[in-house]
């Protein structure tokens, strides 16, 4: 990457200005308030996809993010509903719970590679759904409904975040929350990938045996990466439960897990910001095609196949190709 | 007891046939074909149209399913998968393509055949009821046909020229190419055969369980399970995995009945434990 420091800072500032100022202004000017919900979903889904991307980065195909998103949603919902916790406290707890679960699950299954790992994680999504159906605490197929909106968060008497229920426009609040988390998440990802650990992860992606023979603790690294990935999944699931104020076993299914993976592919596996772009394009594309009615899925999947044929290395590889030419 | 085993064998025969197609495609191209379940559904609907609607003989319908799917499979390999494998930096990119084709088939099936559950008239009437086993004759016929197809497939892979070429390809692509095997051609034939198997099973099972446009995804997941149990890319493994899953399902549905709908939960949990002990399944090659 030969982009110099100043352009990089300018790009970050421009991005922050767009998501925090330009988008809300544009939406209130155009009166399309429903777009808040769409954009919030994009932000949250891209957090979960970022997690999937991280597992791609260590050379594993992860189709199990739906399981952790579902778990995170349930952990948050149960803590809020049954134990009266504040939503803000349940958010990190949901993430940490998923991370802990993923360490336990990851220790054995991260020994698998290639399609075996992909298929086990796919099965994991089904396991999560069936568990949610079978366990007594999750209330079966009826799910957990009418979860209260997030309350106020105050530290030492200073209100940092107002009670969402008292706000006139809770959509804007959720949008800002989701976008903030997305920015934090991708900042962490960027930092992680460009750190020593990131380089080590890349060595795992290329050749685990070689990395291991040089002295890289591969078992430790891949569990860490998988735990971070699941943490993101859990957090995004928890916020989803809070926004929709409900969670069902079918809230996150195999289709969602596959979609998280597709977001990464579409954006480009070689780029940290790939999952964000991929989610935006896929989610908006799906929404835009809504007008085509019964042909929605046909056109959507057809376009996806064409995209794959033209740009098999992701949308962001386009930028690289033009840079090379220029 | 006899009933449970008979059910397991019947389920196993059809499952094994589903898994064979998936594992063949995987062995040859290293592609995890997400659209396998959708191909199965398509095969089912073609048989439904030809046999159920047009009233032609069942054999013709089965042939039509197999041939149509084989053509679709060949075209998919030639124009989609081959191109992407050539252009992409990472092998896994084919998974996006496979998932996209799965969505595409879902959409096509929904548009062409609607979302209703479809069934066809029974091919054989009557019920077998002896030695403690109750089983409709059509299930026996379908199970036997599935076993015949499996045997034919194995023999074909073992003794024919094409089968030998494909086995060589699965073992080592580069070496096979150096020995003069036309890699592109046999990849295409293999993909076509895998798709054909999916179509034939779909055609067989439409006579018993019927077919609807939503079952493609679940069928794919079951096929993945079987392939994982047996080991990806191994013909014997797919057959073993199919029978094991069929047996587990049959036993689980009987034994775990009083605990509610937990059979698949137990199967999944057992599979994860099993795979953490034997990461390549029963007889898979290392790192598939």
Percent of chain A having pLDDT more than 70? 93
CA distance A140 to A136: 7
CA distance A182 to chain B (A): 24
Least confident range of A17-21, A184-188, B161-165: A17-21
Band of pLDDT at residue A100, cut at 50, 70 and 90: very high
Measured between CA atoms, the residue of chain B closest to residue A260 is B96
- Least CB–CB distance from B276: residue in A111, A131, A134: A111
CA distance B50 to chain A (A): 24
Q: From residue A138, give the alpha-carbon distance in Å to each of A77, A98, A127, A128.
A: 9, 16, 14, 11
pLDDT of amino acid B288? 41
Q: From residue A70, give the alpha-carbon distance in Å to each of A240, A256, B253.
A: 9, 10, 26
- Quick one: which of A142, A140, A54 has its CA closest to A102? A54
- Quick one: which of B207, B238, B253 has its CA closest to B48? B207
Q: State the residue for tokens 């999937």.
A: A52
Higher-scoring residue by pLDDT: A30, A95: A95
Q: Are A35 and A27 in contact (CB under 8 A)?
A: yes
Band of pLDDT at residue A255, cut at 50, 70 and 90: confident
DSSP state of B285: P
Which residues in chain B are closer than 8 Å to A109, comparing Cβ atoms?
Answer: 272, 275-276
DSSP A1-64: ----HHHHHHHHHHHHHIIIIIHHHHHHHHT-THHHHHHHHHHHHHHHHHHHHHHHHTT-----
pLDDT of amino acid B69? 93
pLDDT of amino acid B287? 47
Measured between CA atoms, the residue of chain A closest to residue B31 is A115
CA distance B97 to chain A (A): 6
Band of pLDDT at residue A157, cut at 50, 70 and 90: low
Which residues in chain B are closer than 8 Å to A266, comparing Cβ atoms?
Answer: 96
CA distance A92 to A98: 10
What are the boundaries of each domain within chain B?
2-214
CB contact under 8 A, A305 and B80: yes
User: Is the confidence at residue A326, as pLDDT, over 50?
Assistant: no
User: Is the confidence at residue A231, as pLDDT, over 80?
Assistant: yes
User: Is the confidence at residue A189, as pLDDT, over 80?
Assistant: yes
Calculate mean pLDDT across residues A7-35.
Answer: 81
**In what helix (H) or strand (E) does residue A128 lie, and over which residues does it extend?**
helix A114-134
CA distance B9 to B210: 20
pLDDT of amino acid A170? 75
pLDDT of amino acid A156? 66
Burial class (CB in 10 A: 0-12, 13-18, 19+), A141: exposed
Q: Are A58 and A203 in contact (CB under 8 A)?
A: no
Tell me which residues of chain B have a pLDDT lower than 70. 260, 285-288
Which residues in chain A are closer than 8 Å to B271, comparing Cβ atoms?
Answer: 120, 123
| Spacing of C-alpha B234 from chain mean position | 13
Interface contacts (A, B; CB < 8 Å)? 144
CA distance A98 to chain B (A): 18
Q: From residue B226, give the alpha-carbon distance in Å to each of B65, B167, B240, B281.
A: 23, 20, 8, 10
What are the boundaries of each domain within chain A?
33-325
User: Is the confidence at residue A323, as pLDDT, over 70?
Assistant: no
What is chain A's mean pLDDT, rounded? Answer: 83
User: Is the confidence at residue A2, as pLDDT, over 70?
Assistant: no
CA distance B180 to A172: 64
CA distance A242 to A89: 13
Count CA within 13 A, CB hemisphere, residue A16: 11
- Quick one: which of A235, A211, A259, A219 has its CA closest to A62? A259
Q: Which fold has domain A33-325?
A: ABC transporter involved in vitamin B12 uptake, BtuC (1.10.3470)
Count CA within 13 A, CB hemisphere, residue B27: 33
User: Is the confidence at residue A161, as pLDDT, over 80?
Assistant: no
User: Is the confidence at residue A27, as pLDDT, over 50?
Assistant: yes
This complex has an ipTM of 0.78
CB contact under 8 A, A116 and B275: yes
């Amino acid at each position: 990457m030969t982009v110099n420091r100043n352009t990089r800072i300018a790009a970050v500032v421009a991005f922050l200005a767009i998501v925090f100022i330009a988008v809300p202004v544009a939406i209130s000017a155009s009166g399309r308030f429903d777009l808040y919900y769409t954009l919030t979903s994009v932000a949250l889904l891209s957090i979960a996809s970022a997690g999937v991307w991280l597992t791609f980065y260590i050379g594993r195909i992860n189709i199990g993010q739906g399981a952790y998103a579902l778990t995170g949603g349930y952990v948050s919902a149960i803590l809020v509903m049954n134990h009266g916790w504040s939503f803000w406290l349940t958010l990190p707890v949901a993430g940490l719970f998923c991370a802990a679960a993923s360490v336990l699950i990851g220790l054995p299954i991260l020994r698998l590679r290639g399609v075996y790992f992909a298929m086990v994680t796919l099965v994991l999504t089904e396991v999560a759904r069936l568990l949610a159906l079978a366990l007594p605490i999750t209330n079966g197929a009826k799910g957990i409904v009418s979860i209260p909106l997030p309350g106020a968060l105050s530290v030492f008497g200073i209100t940092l975040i107002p009670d969402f229920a008292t706000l006139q426009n809770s959509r804007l609040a959720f949008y800002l929350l989701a976008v903030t988390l997305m920015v934090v998440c991708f900042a962490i990802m960027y930092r992680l990938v460009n750190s020593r650990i990131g380089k080590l992860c890349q060595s795992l992606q290329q050749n685990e045996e070689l990395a291991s023979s040089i002295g890289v603790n591969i078992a430790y690294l891949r569990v860490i990466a998988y735990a971070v990935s699941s943490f993101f999944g859990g957090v995004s699931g928890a916020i989803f439960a809070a926004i929709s104020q409900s969670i069902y076993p079918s809230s996150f299914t195999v289709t969602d897990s596959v979609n998280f993976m597709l977001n990464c592919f579409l954006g480009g596996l070689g780029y940290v910001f790939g999952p964000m772009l991929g989610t935006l394009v896929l989610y908006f594309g799906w929404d835009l095609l809504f007008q085509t009615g019964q042909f929605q899925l046909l056109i959507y999947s057809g376009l996806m196949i064409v995209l794959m044929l033209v740009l098999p290395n992701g949308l962001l590889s386009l930028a690289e190709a033009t840079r090379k030419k220029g | 007891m006899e009933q449970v085993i008979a059910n397991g064998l019947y389920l196993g025969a059809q499952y094994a046939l589903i898994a064979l197609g998936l594992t063949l495609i995987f062995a040859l191209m290293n592609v995890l074909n997400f659209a396998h379940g959708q191909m199965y559904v398509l095969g089912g609907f073609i048989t439904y149209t030809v046999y159920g609607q047009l009233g032609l003989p069942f054999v013709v319908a089965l042939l039509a399913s197999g041939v149509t799917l084989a053509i679709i499979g060949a075209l998919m390999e030639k124009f989609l998968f081959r191109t992407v494998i050539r252009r992409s930096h990472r092998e896994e990119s084919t998974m996006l393509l496979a998932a996209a084709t799965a969505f595409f088939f879902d959409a096509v099936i929904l548009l062409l055949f609607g979302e209703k559950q479809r069934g066809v008239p029974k091919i054989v009437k009557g019920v077998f009821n002896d030695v403690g086993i109750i089983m409709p004759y059509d299930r026996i016929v379908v199970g036997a046909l599935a076993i015949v197809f499996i045997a034919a497939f194995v023999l074909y892979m073992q003794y024919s020229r094409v089968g030998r070429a494909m086995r060589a390809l699965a073992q080592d692509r580069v070496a096979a190419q150096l020995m003069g095997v036309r890699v592109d051609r046999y990849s295409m034939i293999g993909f076509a055969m895998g798709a054909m198997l999916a179509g034939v099973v779909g055609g067989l099972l439409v006579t018993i369980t019927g077919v609807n446009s939503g079952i493609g995804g679940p069928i794919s997941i079951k096929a993945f399970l079987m392939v994982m149990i047996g080991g990806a890319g191994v013909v014997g493994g797919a057959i073993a995995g199919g029978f094991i899953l069929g047996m587990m399902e049959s036993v689980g549905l009987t034994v775990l009945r009083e605990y509610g709908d937990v059979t698949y939960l137990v199967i999944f949990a057992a599979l994860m434990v099993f795979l953490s002990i034997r990461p390549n399944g029963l007889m898979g090659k290392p790192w598939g």
